[in-house]
Structure 1
C-alpha cells in the first residue's frame, strides 16, 4: 500500500486532474459541469475523478439524481506541511543569493 502523500502527488501529477481541482476550488460541480471545458469523454473525466477520490482530494455527495463533487483540502494541507521545510530551505538560499548579488553590483 502506498503512503497518502505519494498517492496525493501521483493524483496531482496529471494536468487534467489539476485543472479539475482548480474548477472545484471555485465551488461544487457535477461531473457534467467539470467535463464541459475539457475535450474528453465523460468516462475519461470520471476516471480522473476516481483517482482524485482515491487520493482523498475529491468527495462526491448525493442530492436527488445529482452527484456534486467538492474539493477536500486535507491532503493538500499534508503536501503543504511536507513542502514547508523545502520552502524554508529555498527561501534561505534565495535570500543569500540576493545578498551576494547586491554586494557584487556596483
Structure 2
C-alpha cells in the first residue's frame, strides 16, 4: 500500500475512472450522483474511487445541508509534476516547460 504522498497521488491517477472523475471536476463541483452518471458502475464503486482521490488529496468534499459536493484540489498535482520534471532533467531530456510553483492546498470549507 502506498504510504508517501507521491505514491498515493500516482496510484490515484493510475486508474482511468479516477482520471475521468478529475477531468469532470475541472468544470466545477459535483455531487457523487453527478459524478457517477457517466459510468456503468454502482454508487458504492464510485464512492470507493472518490475515497482514493480524497486520500491522495486530489478531491475535497464539503457539507452543504444534505449534500456533500466534491471539488478538485490541484495543489497535490505539483508533487508528481516536479518529480517528473526532475527525472527528465536528470536523464538529460529537456522538459516542455518549467512546472508552475505550487499555489498550496485549498482551505478546508467544512461548515
User: If the length of structure 2 is used for normalisation, what is the TM-score?
Assistant: 0.77
Ranges in structure 2 where 5+ consecutive residues have no aligned partner: 96-111
User: Runs (4+) of structure 1 moved beyond 2 Å?
Assistant: 85-92
Q: Where does residue 79 of structure 2 map in the other structure?
A: 78
Q: What pairs up with 1:14-93 in 2 under 5 angstroms?
A: 14-88=15-89, 89-91=92-94
Root-mean-square deviation (CA, aligned residues, Å) is 1.5
Q: Report the Cα distance in structure 1 between the residues aligned to 2:31 and 2:88, rounded to whole angstroms.
A: 35
User: If the length of structure 1 is used for normalisation, what is the TM-score?
Assistant: 0.80
Query: Greater Rg, structure 1 or structure 2?
Result: 1
Deviations 1:55-106 (A, max 9, x none): 11100001011110000111101111111123444337xxxxxxxxxxxxxx
SS of 1:90's partner is coil
Q: Report the Cα distance in structure 1 between the residues aligned to 2:7 and 2:73, rounded to whole angstroms.
A: 17
Q: Where does residue 102 of structure 1 map in the other structure?
A: none
How many pairs align?
Answer: 92
